[in-house]
């Protein structure tokens, strides 16, 4: 495996596939499946996320992963940092008492939730997902964390689609993305 951060980043980038006109005409879909298939690329993603957290001296109690691809990267980072992992799921997927937030999509609306006791007031959380596009889902996750009175340390994604300006919607939260398109 490539030793330094730049080599790791190049390895990750080589494992992102582009699919034109998916899921509809005019969209260039960035596919992370090859990252998951490659142990070296997946390790590189986890290494780069961990290096960011440690180099910025972020104090984190919990990693919060978004349904569903945040579930792929979040537990790996949580394990490396020695902290817990919390699920943000689509409405109706979690047992027990939950807290939910509705948000708008370009074609309708959606709702995400966490278990009511998943995050305690004052806990320091880092939110993770695979992709930042328009920012709707990450913004909803931030709102859930605010409702739980969590201290949001930032958001991390593998890919940021800059033209869609999702990071602007998430201000004042810090956004860290490995790859930008």
Catalytic residue among 17, 89, 106, 111: 106
Q: How far apart are CA 50 and CA 17, in angstroms?
A: 24
C-beta of residue 132 within 8 angstroms of C-beta of residue 167:
yes
For residue 160, indicate whether it is catalytic.
no
Overall residue count recorded for the chain in this entry: 181
For residue 69, indicate whether it is catalytic.
yes
Under DSSP, the state recorded for 147 is: H
The two structure tokens encoding residue 51: 């290096």
Nearest to 64 by CA among 135, 148, 5, 8: 148
Q: How far apart are CA 74 and CA 85, in angstroms?
A: 7
Catalytic residue among 30, 69, 113, 160: 69
CB neighbour burial string for 74-97, b if at least 16 within 10 angstroms, e if fewer: bbbbbeebebbbbbbbeeeebeee
Residues with a catalytic annotation lie at 69, 106
């Amino acid at each position: 495996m490539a030793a330094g951060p730049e080599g790791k980043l190049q390895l990750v980038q080589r494992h992102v596939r582009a699919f034109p006109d998916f899921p509809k005409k005019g969209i260039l879909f960035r596919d992370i499946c090859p990252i998951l298939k490659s142990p070296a690329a997946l390790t590189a993603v986890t290494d780069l996320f961990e290096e960011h957290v440690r180099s910025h001296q972020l104090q984190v109690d919990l990693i919060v992963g978004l349904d569903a691809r945040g579930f792929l990267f979040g537990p790996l980072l949580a394990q490396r940092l020695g902290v817990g992992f919390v699920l943000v799921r689509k409405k109706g997927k979690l047992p027990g008492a939950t807290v939910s937030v509705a948000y708008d999509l370009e074609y309708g609306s959606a709702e995400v939730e966490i278990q009511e006791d998943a995050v305690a007031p004052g806990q320091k959380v880092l939110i993770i997902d695979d992709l930042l596009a328009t920012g709707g889902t990450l913004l909803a996750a931030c709102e859930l964390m605010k409702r739980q009175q969590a201290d949001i340390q930032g958001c991390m994604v593998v890919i940021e689609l800059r033209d869609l300006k999702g990071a602007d919607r998430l201000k004042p939260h810090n956004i860290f993305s490995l790859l930008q398109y």
